[in-house]
Chain A
Amino acid sequence: KQEVTQIPAALSVPEGENLVLNCSFTDSAIYNLQWFRQDPGKGLTSLLLIQSSQREQTSGRLNASLDKSSGRSTLYIAASQPGDSATYLCALYDDYKLSFGAGTTVTVRA
């Protein structure tokens, strides 16, 4: 069974600082990896999808990398803003099933 770990569980940074969120997984035989954002009490918003053949994806200030051999993915958020405050979830596809980490809750202080 795929185990997904996200470290740290919570992170507080001043505005403008770069964010580095880590995700590790136990089974490298994955299909795709997806990063989501979740605001309090809300659903999931997809941020980036990395297919298993790719090593990274970028969208605006967000960059996600994937290293299957080491079982790791990292989400970088450049020049953080208070609006980036949310919980960030890493999820791995095993065919059609998604295995989620517990998330990293980010607070960006103005």
Chain B
Amino acid sequence: ETGVTQTPRHLVMGMTNKKSLKCEQHLGHNAMYWYKQSAKKPLELMFVYNFKEQTENNSVPSRFSPECPNSSHLFLHLHTLQPEDSALYLCASSSTGGGSSGANVLTFGAGSRLTVL
């Protein structure tokens, strides 16, 4: 399998549930990202991991908890979410999490559509 794979593609959860989104990349990249896309709003960067270390947390509420066990896998653990957290969550990866090289281009997964009831 190639590229960036996200599971599940669709998730419906109640406000008291705990669930996780998973992202896996098969590109040999070392940096991984979580983005949020809400209706009618631009994509927002949430978290960045570079060589398994978190290098960016864009003031994301603690009900979103990322985990990066290795450079190929990224999780987003969800708990006690709010209805306004309903959105498309996109994972991306790149060669490294820094530098101006054209090789440091992000590749995106297909996204996980989250609905919070």
Contacts and interface: CB of A to CB of B under 8 A. Distances in A.
Whether chain B is bound by chain A comes out as: yes
Interface of A: 4, 31-32, 34, 36, 41-44, 46, 49, 51-52, 89, 91, 93, 95-103
Contacts of B40: 102
B94 interface: yes
CB-based closest 8 A-B pairs: A43-B110, A44-B108, A100-B43, A100-B42, A31-B100, A43-B111, A96-B97, A51-B102
Interface string B83-117: 00000101000101111101011111111010000
A93 B42 CA distance: 15
Contact of A96 (B6, B35, B48): B48
Interface of B: 6, 31, 35, 40-43, 45, 48, 50, 56, 88, 90, 94, 96-100, 102, 104-111, 113
A101 to B, nearest CB: 6
Nearest to A103: B42
Given A42-B110, A93-B104, 8 more contacts: A4-B42, A36-B108, A41-B111, A44-B90, A52-B100, A96-B104, A97-B48, A98-B45
A96 B99 contact: yes
Contacts of B108: 36, 43-44, 46
Contact of B107 (A46, A97, A103): A46
Contacts of A99: 42
Nearest to B94: A96
Contacts of A31: 100
24 contacts: A4-B42, A32-B105, A34-B105, A34-B106, A41-B113, A42-B110, A43-B90, A43-B110, A46-B108, A49-B102, A91-B43, A93-B100, A93-B104, A96-B31, A96-B94, A96-B96, A96-B97, A96-B98, A98-B45, A98-B106, A99-B42, A102-B41, A102-B42, A103-B42
Nearest to B95: A96
A98 B35 CA distance: 10
Contacts of B113: 41
Contacts of A4: 42
Contact of B45 (A49, A52, A97): A97
